[in-house]
Amino acid sequence: MNTHLLLISNSTNAGEAYLGWPKDYIRDFLLLYGIREALFIPYAGVNLSQESLQASFDVYESRVKPIFESMGCNLVSVHRLPDPAGAMRNAEAVIVGGGNTFHLVKMMHETGLMNVVREKTENGIPFIGWSAGANVACPTMKTTNDMPIAEPPSFSCLNLVPFQINPHYLDAGLAGHGGETREQRIMEFLAVNREMMVAGLREGCLLQVEGAEIELKGTRTMRVFRHGQEPVEHQPGVLVF
């Protein structure tokens, strides 16, 4: 596939501005492909303070749009368009925001965006996604951390990379919490999906995918899980799995 992807674990590190830590990586990616306009998919953004989902998407757009404009890229949110899938067929690039993966996947299937975005990105338009937006680039959404607040017609996603991502990956359990660790949850997934690989993408990290080449960027290592094997730490740099 002729893919150009920026798959970001998280939008914000503690104490930093929104999209602060990945901003330089995003700017470089936009410049690399000369992206001046992109369609934004806001459907993961369920804002509890808003009276409707439409208002939630408005707020999300208003938060993301000025940041991309400061980098020379005009953002158009698909929730304002009468035919999101039709508009996506002419898109220069696609940006998928984080939030709740279940709601994002539900809306992308129901609007027809899942199929169109897959087709467009497989044929070369650049894709940027963070958190839930990184989840949706995977074969399925089954390694999300989110609560199922909505029921998608399918867990199948874009399948732009041949492995699963677990964004916001944490190594340790919470003090005083008796439930499973993130590693144990991933191992549960692998016990059922034994052929799959899971990339535990810690906060402050991203994957840049250029066709078959995958590079880990950021300040931390990535932990890779396979069924029946010990997890492997990967340093930033070009990855060989």
Write the pLDDT tens digit of every residue in 103-149. Answer: 999 999 999 999 999 999 999 999 999 999 999 999 999 999 999 99
Q: State residue 51's pLDDT score.
A: 75
Mean per-residue pLDDT of the chain: 94
pLDDT at position 176: 61
CATH code of the domain containing 63:
3.40.50.880
pLDDT of residue 161: 97
Question: Exactly one of 11, 56, 77, 131 is catalytic; which is it?
Answer: 131
In degrees, rounded to 5, the angle at the alpha carbon of residue 72 between the alpha carbons of residues 77 and 88 is 30
**Which of 47-51, 60-64, 77-81, 152-156 is the least confident region?**
47-51
Catalytic residue (choose from 109, 168, 227, 234): 168
Angstrom CA distances, 117 to 79, 88, 159, 164, 186, stand at 15, 7, 11, 18, 27
The range of the structural domain enclosing residue 38 comes to: 4-238
Q: How many CA atoms lie within 13 A of 59 on its CB side?
A: 14
What is the count of structural domains for the chain? Answer: 1
Average pLDDT over residues 32-56: 89
168 is catalytic: yes
Pairing of strands 127-130, 164-167: unpaired
Which amino acid is it at 208? Q
What pLDDT was estimated at residue 196?
97
Residue 131 designated active-site:
yes
| Catalytic-labelled residue, pool 11, 56, 77, 146 | 146
Angle between helices 53-69 and 23-32 (to 10 degrees): 70
pTM: 0.95
What is the pLDDT, as a whole number, of residue 208? 98
Percent of residues, the chain, with pLDDT higher than 70: 96
For this structure, is 146 an active site residue? Answer: yes
> What pLDDT score was predicted for residue 102?
98
